[in-house]
């Protein structure tokens, strides 16, 4: 973990500063897409971008240098390589790397416009400075197998729904249901219960399949939400610690294992 030490005022102020810098930078990226604002405040937007790039670049290489203090990245070479491919390190790198690419390698101006989109990745850096985002990351890590299972179920249902709808509607709507991949658009929209109305079944069998898919979609999309909710509850409960007023034991949270240990002797035993 890269959380700041408890009571470290300098680290806390640095986190506040970086959070404010990221928010200002992302707001500037959004506002400069408004043409009148872009023309009027071009120099301001450019200055914000350059200052942010400077801080993000220095921060990345400082973190890369000191990451060996973490036991997980203790090796001076392989440890730093492992750190470079970690989630937060990749986000940090992408937050400033697109700025330097056109300077080092001449590129087509049309491609430069695409690189500008990577600046919005900077908003993901907020996760490093937010305990809530770090908790979310921890929950994702702990529930990734369940979430993968839920996505697998969604994929299977998507294939079945689009295949059945193709065979039910292809003959009467050959343009809209020309193939199973074309029917997948209908299946995705229907499973998500969005219902754009651009493609819909008109045969009795197709309507029955559509109704079943709608009901199934409600349950399938609720499954990841339930997994994440359970993960959040478990993570929050794990961090709760209650001190027993009688013996001073830490009850609950990460210290729950202390129940299996011998109780501490009272500090002031009686005669």
144-256 CATH choice from 1.10.287.70, 1.20.1560.10, 3.40.1190.20, 1.10.10.410: 1.10.287.70
> Is residue 215 scored above 60 in pLDDT?
yes
Query: What per-residue confidence (pLDDT) applies to 193?
Result: 82
- Give dist(CA 99, CA 115) in Å, integer: 8
Per-residue pLDDT band for 139 (boundaries 50, 70, 90) equals: confident
Query: What per-residue confidence (pLDDT) applies to 65?
Result: 92
CATH of domain 9-129: 1.20.120.350
Query: What per-residue confidence (pLDDT) applies to 168?
Result: 92
Beta strands in 17-76 (DSSP E): none
Per-residue pLDDT band for 163 (boundaries 50, 70, 90) equals: very high
- Give dist(CA 186, CA 220) in Å, integer: 16
Contact 29, 119 (CB under 8 A): yes
Predicted structure pTM score: 0.53
Residue tagged 């914000």 (tokens): 48
Residue 33's φ and ψ, nearest 5 degrees, are -75, -15
Between 264 and 106, where is the model more confident?
106
Domain residue spans in the chain?
Answer: 9-129, 144-256
- Give dist(CA 115, CA 49) in Å, integer: 14
């Amino acid at each position: 973990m890269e959380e700041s030490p408890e009571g470290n005022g300098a680290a806390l102020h640095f986190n506040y500063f970086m959070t404010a810098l990221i928010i200002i930078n992302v707001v500037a990226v959004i506002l400069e897409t408004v043409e009148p604002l872009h023309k009027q405040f071009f120099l301001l937007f450019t200055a914000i971008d350059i200052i942010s790039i400077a801080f993000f670049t220095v921060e990345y290489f400082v973190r890369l240098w000191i990451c060996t203090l973490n036991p997980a990245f203790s090796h001076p070479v392989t440890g730093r390589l492992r750190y470079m491919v970690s989630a937060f390190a990749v986000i940090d790198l992408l937050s400033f790397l697109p700025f330097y690419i056109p300077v080092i390698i001449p590129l087509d101006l049309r491609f430069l416009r695409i690189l500008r989109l990577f600046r919005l990745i900077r908003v993901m850096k907020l996760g490093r400075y937010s305990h809530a985002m770090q908790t979310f990351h921890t929950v994702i890590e702990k529930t990734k197998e369940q979430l993968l299972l839920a996505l697998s179920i969604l994929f299977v249902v998507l294939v079945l729904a689009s295949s059945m709808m193709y065979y039910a509607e292809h003959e009467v709507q050959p343009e809209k249901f020309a193939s199973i991949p074309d029917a997948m658009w209908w299946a995705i929209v229907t499973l998500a219960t969005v219902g754009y109305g651009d493609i819909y079944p008109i045969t009795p069998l197709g309507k029955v399949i559509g109704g079943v898919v709608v009901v199934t979609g409600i349950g399938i999309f609720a499954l990841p939400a339930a997994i994440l909710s359970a993960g959040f509850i478990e993570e929050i409960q794990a961090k709760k610690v209650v001190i027993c007023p009688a013996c001073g034991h830490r009850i609950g949270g990460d210290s729950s294992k202390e129940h299996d240990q011998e109780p501490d002797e009272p500090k002031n035993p009686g005669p």
